[in-house]
Structure 1
Amino acid sequence: MAKRYIGIDLGGTTVKLGIVDENGGLLYKAEKPTRGEEGPEASLARIADHARELAEAIGTPWSNVAGVGMGLPGFLDLEKGEIIRLTNIPWERVPVRSMLEAELGLPVAIDNDANAAALGEAWSGAGAGFNDLICITLGTGVGGGIIVGGRLVHGLSGMAGEIGHIPVEADGVRCGCGQRGCLETISSATGMTRLAREGLAQGRHSVLDEAEKRGELTTREIFAAAKDQDGLALDVVDRATDALGRVMAMLSVVNNPAAFIVGGGVSRAGDELFTPLRRSYAKHTLVEVANGVQILPARLGNDAGLIGAAGLVWNRGS
C-alpha cells in the first residue's frame, strides 16, 4: 500500500490538517480550533488526536503513514525542531518536533508556513515540474519560499525567503520588522490600502473614497477601481507591482529561478495584478536573466500550506 503523509497548517484561530499521497494529492482534510491559549501541551495533544482521526476517516492504517509535517507561523530553530516564537499564538521555546513525535510515534518535520506553502505549490501546484522557483504570498504581509534543485532553501538561521523585508524605499514607512520601506509596506494588502488612504487624505478624487467611508476599502476595491481606470487606484497598483517587480528582478540575478509563483489574497485580482507585474519584471530585469521565466498564479489556494507541510516529510526522504 502506498505511503501517506499528514500535513498540519497551524494558524492562530484554526489548524488545518490533511492527508496527502505520494504525488501531493490531497485525499482528505479537516479544520479544527487551535485553542493556543490553552498552552502547547494541550493543543499539540489535541492536534495529534486529530491527525489520527484523519487517517481513520479514509481507512489508512497508522503504520502506513510515513510521517507528519507542520507549518508554523513564526520563528523556528529548524535544527532543534523548536518554536522560538510564534507571531499569533503566545508560544515561545517549545520543542514542538519532539513533543509531536512522542504523541504520534512518527517522524515529524517542521518549517515556517510560507516555506510550507511554497513546497506545496512546488510539489503539486503551479510550480510542479520546476526544479528552481520562488513562491511569493501577497496577503496581510509578503511571504516567500525559495526552491532550488527541488529543495527548500533555509539559510543560516532559517530566514531565507523573507522577501517581504527587502527594503525598497530608503525613507519609507516603518515596517513591523523595525526597518523602513520594506516591500511588505507597499505590495501587501495592508500596504496597498495604506497607499490608497494616503492618496485620499491628500485630496485625490477617487471612487475609493466611498469604499473608505463604508469601511470597505480593500485590495478588491482597489483592483476593481483600477480596472475602471480610476487614477488613484491605478497609481497604487503601479507602485505595488513596480516594487514587487524590482524585488523579483533582484532575486532573479541571485537565484535565476524558472518561475515565480504568486499566491495569497491579493493574487485573486488575476490579470489586474499579473499584467502590470509582468510588465514591471520585464522592465527591471536583465533580458538574458528574464528570458523564459514564468510568473504564474498559485493553484492550491488555502490548501497549499497543509499539502506543503505533508511534503516536508516527503521532500526530506526524496
Structure 2
Amino acid sequence: MANQIYIGVDLGGTNIKVGICDEHGTLLHTYEGPTGADEGAEAVLGRIAQYVRKIVEDSKFEWDQVAGIGAGLAGFMDIPEGFVKLSPNLGWHNVPAKKILEEKLGKTVTIDNDANVAALGEAWSGAGKGIPNLVCYTLGTGVGGGIIINGHIYQGSGGMAGELGHMSIVPDIEAINCGCGQIGCLETVSSATGIVRMANDAVERGEHTSLALLEKIAAKDVFDAAKSGDEVALRIVHRAALYLGKSMAAVSVVLNPGRYIIGGGVSKAGEVLFAPLREAYMKYTPEQAREGVDIVPATLGNDAGIVGAAGLNLRHR
C-alpha cells in the first residue's frame, strides 16, 4: 500500500506521547495525553489505544494506512512474549501488554522497553546517527537505558539488558530502597524523582537553601537553584552526576561504547549536570576504555521514544 504510516507510542509515568512516522522515520504528527497510571494497567492500555486512534483521525491519513504500531513501555519486560513483568513506576506486574493492545487496535503491535526505543530513535536519526555502538540513558521519573550494538537494540537473553537505572551503584551507607525491590539503585539518586527526594530531605533537615521557599519542589527547581549558586542544590546535582558517571565507568569496561547519550527531562539541565558528569566519568573510567568516548545530550528530545517505537515497526516489517 502506498503511503503507509507507522505509529510510535512512548509511555511515560506522567504522559503518553504518540506519533505518526513515514517509512523514512520522519515524524509527521504528534499527540500527547495523560497516563493516568493510578487507574491501573488495563485503563492505561485502553488510553494508549484511544490516543492511537485519535491521532490517525486527526491526521490526513486513514486507519488502513497504518502498517504497524510500536510501543515503548516502562519496566522489566519479556519482549518476545510481549509481557511487562514489572514496572515499578507504574505498579504493573505480569501485564500482557502486546496482546491487549493488539486486541484493542486490530493491528500488529511491537513492544520494547521505553528506554530501548528512545535509544533506537537517537541512533536512527538523532545524536547517535552514524555511531554503531552507543548507550543511551533516559533521566526522567526513573532512569532507563538502551544499548545499541552494531546499530541494533541489544535486549539480552530475556529482554532485561539496558536496565541501567537498577545498577546497584550507591554505597550501602548512603543507599535507600528502590521501587524494583533492590537497594542503592542509580535511579534513587539520578532520576528526577531521586533529585526531588534529596532536595526535600535537605529542606526537612533545615538546611539553608532557596529550595525551602518553594511550596512544591520539582527537579527543574533544583537545577535552577544550582545554576544560581545554591550550595545545597549544587551538592544534590553533583551527587546525581557522580553516580551517573560511575555507572558509565562500569558500562565502559563491559561494552566500550563510542558514545553516551543522555535524554529525558533531566538532561535539559545543561552544563550544570553535564560538567560534573563528564568529570566523574573521566575520573573513574580507565583511559583505554574512555578514549574517544563522548557524553552528549539527546537531540530528538521528547520525540526520541516516538521515533524509536516507529522504528520497531520498520525493523519487524
- Give the TM-score taking structure 1 as reference length: 0.85
Question: Which of the residues 194, 213, 234 maps onto 2:197?
Answer: 194
Number of aligned residue pairs: 313
1:301 is aligned to 301
- Distance change in 2, residues 1:104/1:235 (3 Å): closer
Instruction: Name the structure 2 match of 1:283.
Output: 283
Give the number of the structure whose alpha-carbon radius of gyration is greater.
1
In 1, Cα distance between equivalents of 2:240 and 2:50? 43
Q: CA deviation at 1:231?
A: 2.6
SS of the aligned residue for 1:174 comes to coil
Contact 2:89–2:179 (Cα < 8 Å) also in 1: no
Query: Structure 2: how far apart are the matches of 1:247 and 1:97?
Result: 31
User: For structure 1, which segment, 305-314 or 63-72, has the greater mean C-alpha deviation from structure 2 after superposition?
Assistant: 63-72
Change (3 A) 1:81 1:192: closer
Aligned to 2:74: 73
CA distance 1:150–1:289, shift in 2 (3 Å):
same
1:181 maps to which of 165, 179, 184: 184
Matched ranges for 1:7-26 at <5 A = 7-11=8-12, 14-26=15-27
RMSD of equivalent CA atoms: 2.8
Query: Which has the larger displacement, 305-314 or 78-87?
Result: 78-87
- 8 Å CA contact 1:9–1:15 kept in 2: the answer is yes
Superposition map of 1:96-245 within 5 A: 96-102=97-103, 104-168=105-169, 169-171=171-173, 172-202=175-205, 204-205=207-208, 207-208=209-210, 211-245=211-245
Please state whether the residue corresponding to 1:160 is helix, strand or coil: coil
The residue type paired with residue 240 of structure 1 is A
**Per-residue deviation, residues 274-302 of structure 1 (Å, max 9, x unmatched):** 11111111111122221211211112222
Q: How far is 1:107 from its partner?
A: 3.0
Point out where structure 2 has 5 or more consecutive residues left out of the alignment.
none
> Quick check: 211-220 or 299-308, which moved more?
211-220
Between the aligned partners of 1:119 and 1:94, the Cα distance in structure 2 is: 24
- Measured after TM superposition, the shift of residue 247 of structure 1 is 0.7
Deviation track 1:81-130 (CA, whole Å, cap 9, x = no partner) reads 23335446576544333444455554321112222222222222222222
TM-score, structure 2 normalization: 0.85
Q: Measure, in 1, the Cα distance between the counterparts of 2:65 and 2:87.
A: 31
Equivalence for 1:274: 274
117-126 or 83-92: which moved more? Answer: 83-92
Q: Give the deviation of 1:270 after TM superposition.
A: 0.6
Q: Which amino acid aligns with 1:170?
A: D
The 2-side partners of 1:114 and 1:309 are apart by 10
Distance 1:90 1:232 in 2: 32
* Alpha carbons 2:238, 2:273 under 8 Å: kept: no
Gaps of 5+ in 1: none
Superposed displacement of residue 199, structure 1: 4.1
Q: Which residue of 2 aligns with 1:28?
A: 29
Contact 2:7/2:20 (CA < 8 Å) preserved in 1? Answer: yes
Distance (whole Å) between structure 2 residues aligned to residue 261 and residue 188 of structure 1: 15
Structure-1 separation of matches of 2:176 and 2:47 = 41
Question: Which residue identity lines up with residue 215 of structure 2 in the other structure?
Answer: G
Q: Deviations over 1:193-229 (max 9, x none)?
A: 3333444555543x33xx2243243333332333333
State the secondary structure of the residue aligned to 1:292.
Answer: coil
Of the structure 1 ranges 50-59 and 301-310, higher mean CA displacement relative to structure 2 is found in 50-59
Query: Distance in 2 between the 1:97 and 1:194 partners?
Result: 34
Deviation at 1:184, TM superposition (A): 1.5
User: Which secondary structure does the structure 2 equivalent of 1:238 belong to?
Assistant: helix
Evaluate the alpha carbon distance shift between residue 101 and residue 275 of structure 1 in structure 2; reply closer, same or farther with a 3 A threshold: same
SS of equivalent to 1:185:
helix
Q: CA-to-partner distance for each residue in 1:157-213, whole Å, 9 max, x for gaps? A: 3221111111221332222222222212222223223333444555543x33xx224
